[in-house]
Amino acid sequence: MTKPTWTVSPSPFLRIRPTVSVMSLVLIATLVPHLLLLALDGNVAALFNVLLAAAGALLAELCRGQKGRDSLLDGTVAVSGLLIGLLLPETYNPVLVPMVSFLGVLLARVIFGGTGSYWVNPVAVAVAIAWISRPDSFPLPLVTPDGIHTVGEAFGALKLDNFAAAPFDQTITETLNRFLSLTTKIRIPEGYVTLFVSSPSVIPAFRFNLLVLCASIVLISLDAIDWIVPASFLATYAIGLRFFTLGVPWDGGMAFGDILFGFLTSGVLFTAFYLLPEYATSPRTPWGKIVTGITAGISVSFLCGPGGSPIGAVFSVLVANALSPLIEFAEKRIPITVGGQA
């Protein structure tokens, strides 16, 4: 007779996390400001793609029959549709948008495990399909190896490519530098404020890094996402950027990478807080979450290099998801104590 690997105390059970419906509602609420800013910018194409992607995800769930119709109320399909639309370039062919959204959601939810148990993120699958089918529709990397070698660092290479800072960038940067000079020798170059507030990209999810950081506080404080996966992911990528710049084609060397530039481009922050912590693909145990975050962080170091990649962060999610079955296999066989009993 095998020894049970899970021990549960007779104590009353307590709900320690919100329901899936509540988590979905919180996620949608944090995405609304992105949509409002797109509307204020008059970006009709991006908003139309978001709507089409949501429709494609909804249709995919309806095709699953009664199970799909029953799962619509938990809001996860709506979240997937919104995320897919925000991660596609605003210039992507609108005829193809609902198709890639439909295929991504259907493949993840049907072939890879079903609602609530799939181990591949449907958003990442859909965006990967979109890139594979039409790579020319995605923007080129923000910086090139030649530009980095010429200037010596990634952000300087971006400025070579006619990077236009926001009108308020200089004023805010000077104010921050005056404040920092009182206590430290740190000085922020002009342009980083623009990357925080409105990063130059035709992919809507990559633009509003400040909104993503504010949303992360809300999501973590309300337990809509777990903090372990994003933290381990960002820490691993920061180490890769600062010390190794693991992207071999960039030939960076030691202490080459710009951590801020890496975080504020390629959709790294958006990926960290909206894709990687997805409840169905995230492991249950803290060590499993750490392994997932580290795997994604190493992958994004190779795929994005110093930053500016249009698709590398999304593919790093798929690499991490590939380990999900192995992590789940290990989690089921490692004794875990619940309620204080061994």
Count of Cβ atoms closer than 10 Å to residue 119 Cβ: 18
The Cα 319–Cα 321 span in angstroms is: 5
The per-residue pLDDT for 141 is 82
The Cα 35–Cα 46 span in angstroms is: 9
Give 180's DSSP letter. Answer: H
**Contact of 69 with 60, CB cutoff 8 Å:** no
The Cα 114–Cα 108 span in angstroms is: 7
- What's the average pLDDT block by block, 10 residues per block, for the chain (342 residues)? 50 63 93 95 94 94 70 83 96 95 88 63 94 92 70 62 73 84 77 83 92 95 93 93 55 58 90 91 87 94 86 94 84 58 42
The per-residue pLDDT for 112 is 65
Per-residue pLDDT reduced to its tens digit, 238-284:
988 877 654 444 444 444 567 888 898 889 999 999 999 988 888 88
The per-residue pLDDT for 274 is 96
**Contact of 87 with 57, CB cutoff 8 Å:** no
The per-residue pLDDT for 251 is 46
Which among 262, 263, 289 is positioned nearest to 276, based on CA atoms? 289
Per-residue pLDDT reduced to its tens digit, 30-49:
999 999 999 999 999 999 99
Close Cβ partners of 78 (under 8 Å, ≥ 6 residues apart):
24, 28, 54, 57, 58
The per-residue pLDDT for 340 is 42
- Beta-bridge mates of residue 105: none
Residue matched to tokens 């979240």: 79
The per-residue pLDDT for 71 is 66
The per-residue pLDDT for 145 is 66
The per-residue pLDDT for 67 is 63
